[in-house]
Amino acid sequence: MYLCTNLIQNAMNLRVIKKDIEFLVGDFVDDCILFAMLHPEDEKTAGVEQLINEACDLANDLFDRVNHPDKTNIKAHYKAVGQDLLTNLDSLCERLSALAKK
């Protein structure tokens, strides 16, 4: 929880934002890999691979947005990046949970 609130409060520290993106997305990918190892069924493994690819695409998109900010309103830009990170990761986690319930 500290990372999430820290990301939104200290939006101007690029180093912290980049580390938070890397940590949160990496943690999700670790969960996906663990799930795939525990449930080696082909149907679930394909779904997990898709989630991992989407998480990597999300991280790449967020890193691109962090490295090339909107010059007109930088603070709002980084706040939006943090919100997008949290909402998209929450969506991916819900999809992983739905895959586990199958």
Q: Using the 8-state DSSP alphabet, how is residue 71 labeled? A: S
What digits encode the pLDDT tens for the residues 43-90? 788 899 999 999 999 999 999 999 998 888 888 899 999 999 999 999
Closest by CA position to 75, among listed 15, 8, 24 = 8
Q: What is the reported pTM?
A: 0.83
Instruction: Name the residue range of residue 58's domain.
Output: 2-101
E strand residue ranges, 46-95: none
What value, to the nearest 5°, has the Cα angle with vertex 101 and ends 97 and 102? 120
Q: How many domains does the chain have?
A: 1
